[in-house]
Amino acid sequence: MPGFNMVGQLAAKAAGVPDVPVVEYPGAVGVDHSEIRDKIKNVLFERIVNALTKPIKPRTLGKVGDWDSKKIVFTGNFDQVNAHFHEMDWSDGLPIVPPTLERVQEFLQYTDRKPEEVIAVLPQMNLRATVWNIAANGVMAGCKPQTMPILVAMVQALQEDKYNLDNIGTTWGIIPYVFLNGPIVKELGFNNAAGLISRGANPSMGRALGLIIRNIGGYRPAKNQMGSFGYPINFCFAENEDLNPWEPYHVEKGFGRNVSTVSVSTTMNWGFQPSPYTRDDQSGAECALKQLCRDALRKPAFALFAERGPSAFVNDIVFVLAPPVAKVLADAGYSKDDIRKYICEHTTVPRKYLDFELKYTMAEVHTIEEKIKLGTFPSEFDVGPDDPIKVMPGPEFIEILVAGDPGRNRIKTLDSGYTRVTTKEIKLPSNWDSLPKT
């Protein structure tokens, strides 16, 4: 489609075939079926044949050499630096803190790693994330130098295959976000209560995530980050472990309680935050569970969650429960596993709803029957149009966190797209206890 040429070129380069021809479909796909068929037959087919049969012209690549991380790329006052960074597409459109040598070196005091050490190689551009350029992006975002260990661990999480950073450029408009657990939350002032993504150290860490994805991952909105309506700013929050009636998220994942962790995920929505209220003799826990199931179905991609098997894009769904909701469920005897099982059993739709999703909202070429044969839908979907089917792939794809206003009974549902939550330990420098934290 027009505007997707760069996406194709970068995807090919990331796969090791930078000279592969890219063929463009004229116009939008999915509006009119007869128009699509006509364009494929009369326009696209000939372009594909030409691309496959003509000699490939190698693209000219600049000479790759060693980059001096300490090189001064621009000199000027605050306004001039911001104008230059904006022109070079290194900023997110908001003013940045100029990453001077002195500021970057201050961040480096909070890690035992050498400045030139490569922490990860991030798609789509396959650029090296070094300690130095990670610190530079943290400076630009307005983070404190003390957050450097978090930034390093966050980049390590972004590189994991499970996170699937290479596919976040989809037109779905996937928003990467980050959350924290462990002692570092209180130590560095991250927020886990009312208005959490907008307070404390949270906004700058969320912004740092976005700048790292932009400047090291190489994603640019409307160039290879193709969210049709753009993106709100990336966000960060911390789990409220004091008011969590269950094990904190990182302990549940096998980390020690005194270990700090950073987790990266994505969401395709921010949206409405339901409040479970009881009526008549209905218990508060029952009401909350039903709200969780209903909210999962209100999100726009339940057909994606219904997929199974190795060829499917299996996604996580993250439920963030405000402390009062978590307490009601725990007091009623529900563990996190109980909640996951309940959601899997009761998040159902009549089969005809899934059929509608595939036909009219997913640009899907396969019917339910065909997807059952392919193994991406389970055989239990082979039922009548009014029979219920379970759209959650399994309890292991449901994550539960406790955070938000301790005085309100709210639920936040964050449904991912093509990604899984990925968690890394935040490894502190050997002299952490002697370093200033403010």
pLDDT in tens, 80-93: 999 999 999 999 99
Distance CA 72, CA 81 (A): 12
Confidence class of residue 1 from pLDDT cuts 50, 70 and 90?
low
Q: What is the mean pLDDT of residues 329-351?
A: 96
Can you give the pLDDT at residue 146? 98
Classify residue 259: in a domain, yes or no: no
Tokens 């009623």 belong to which residue? 332
Residues 212, 215, 219, 221: what is their CA dihedral angle, to the nearest 10 degrees?
A: 100
pLDDT at residue 302, as a whole number: 78
Amino acid present at 271? G
In tens, the pLDDT along 57-77 reads 766 544 545 667 678 899 999
- Take residue 397 and report the two structure tokens written for it: 């794809």
Q: Is residue 171 part of a domain?
A: no
What's the average model confidence in pLDDT over 12-32?
71
pLDDT cut 90: percent of the chain above it? 63
What mean pLDDT do residues 22-49 have? Answer: 74
The answer, yes or no, to whether residue 337 has pLDDT greater than 70, is yes
pLDDT at 216: 95
Q: What is the DSSP letter of 261?
A: E
- According to the model, what pLDDT value does residue 33 have? 64
Is 192 domain-assigned?
Answer: no
Is the distance from CB of 351 to CB of 383 less than 8 angstroms?
yes
Average pLDDT, the chain: 89
Range of the domain at 388: 269-415
Do the domain assignments include residue 398?
A: yes
Of 52-61, 75-84, 209-218, the poorest mean pLDDT is in: 52-61
Write the DSSP assignment of 85-149 as a string of letters.
Answer: HHHTT-S-SS------HHHHHHHHTT-SS-TT-EEEEETTTTEEEEHHHHHHHHHHHT--GGGHH
274 found inside a domain: yes
**Residue 300 above 60 pLDDT?**
no
Q: Which amino acid is at 95?
A: P
Higher pLDDT, 422 or 66: 422
State how many domains the chain has: 2
Report residue 99 as tokens. Answer: 């990453």
Q: Cα–Cα distance between 62 and 307 in angstroms, integer?
A: 42
- From 136, 147, 268, 98, select the one nearest 212 (Cα to Cα): 136
Q: How far apart are CA 127 and CA 436, in angstroms?
A: 32
The pLDDT-based confidence of 14 (bands split at 50, 70, 90) is low
Give φ, ψ of 144 to 5 degrees.
-80, 150
In a domain, 329, yes or no: yes
238 near 20, Cβ under 8 Å?
A: no
CB 296 within 8 A of CB 411: no
Name the one residue in this structure whose structure tokens are 């594909």. Answer: 48
Question: Is 349 strand, coil or helix?
Answer: strand
In a domain, 363, yes or no: yes
pLDDT exceeds 70 at position 311: no
Q: Is 386 among the domain residues?
A: yes
